[in-house]
Amino acid sequence: MQKNRLFVANKPSKISSNLFLSRLKRKYGVKKAGFSGTLDPFASGCLIVAFGEFTKLFRFFKKEPKVYEATIWLGAKSESLDNENIQEVEKILPFQIDDIRIIVDDLKGEIEFIPPKFSAKKVDGKRAYELARKGKEFELKTSKMHIFKSEILHYKHPFLKLRLEVSEGAYIRSYAEIFSKKLGIKATLSALERLNEGDFKFEDEKELNPLNFLNLKENFYLKDYSDFEFGKKLEKNSFQNTDIGQYIINLGKFYSIVEIKENSVIYLLNKVEI
């Protein structure tokens, strides 16, 4: 029987997240595995990986803020907004660090952006990057991301290195695009490393207890635990806390996750062995 496992892997650059996961599956001899928070091939760093039944827990983890170190190549133009499709490099004069700092400070809070066409967003059931590689014309909808913190780490023209704390769903390539427009130039990312997602940080593929990362309150079932064993209908007044919300229930041999609604209780996950 495949062991349930959760850990953080350090994805290298120049490899897709899917291919990297395939290597991990071979390394550990598992069949069922998944990851949360795709990293682009050119990017490296923190990738949350789960085996077995733990793959069902991703949506209950607190995975923000996401922290990145990003290097922006000032004057470089790339259709994919990264270092893989450089079209031209314009020689531009260095900027005053104070002018750069004004833009970095201005780009905080909620920002509207259009995701890169070379992204995993879906358009009529197709991945955007698949359409972009074929030269197809399409439009992506405007999205929003939140920049919690940003700081300049290093500036040696034409390379600017930043540390960014952002929300889930943020695109650092789009941040670089917005940044460059405010600076009045073309620019692209030359490097991107994800340092952590929420409390998830790389620790040499150390096995983690998912209970320490679940963004859920614990609740207590007041009746017979066998109701969960057999997947019976649950009543709201059978729980210690009857407030509307999602809860994890410790049932000894396993855990279950339920959602208490106004007039009902539904299973979100049942009988996950931990």
Residues involved in catalysis = 40
Contact 211, 11 (CB under 8 A): no
- Residue given tokens 């197809």 in the structure block: 136
Amino acid at 192: L
Distance CA(167)–CA(134), nearest Å, equals 31
Q: Read off φ and ψ for residue 174, nearest 5 degrees.
A: -70, -35
Cβ contacts of 259-267, under 8 Å, gap ≥ 24: 260/219, 260/236, 263/236, 264/236, 265/234, 265/235, 265/236, 265/238, 265/239, 267/231, 267/234
3-class SS letters over 231-274:
CCCCCHHHECCCCCEEEEEECCCCEEEEEECCCCEEEEEEEECC
Distance CA(222)–CA(36), nearest Å, equals 34
Quote the tokens at residue 228.
């969960």
Contact 71, 160 (CB under 8 A): yes
Strand, coil or helix: 99: helix
Partners of residue 151 on adjacent β-strands: 163
Which helix (H) or strand (E) is 192 found in, with range? Answer: strand 187-197
Quote the tokens at residue 45.
């760093």
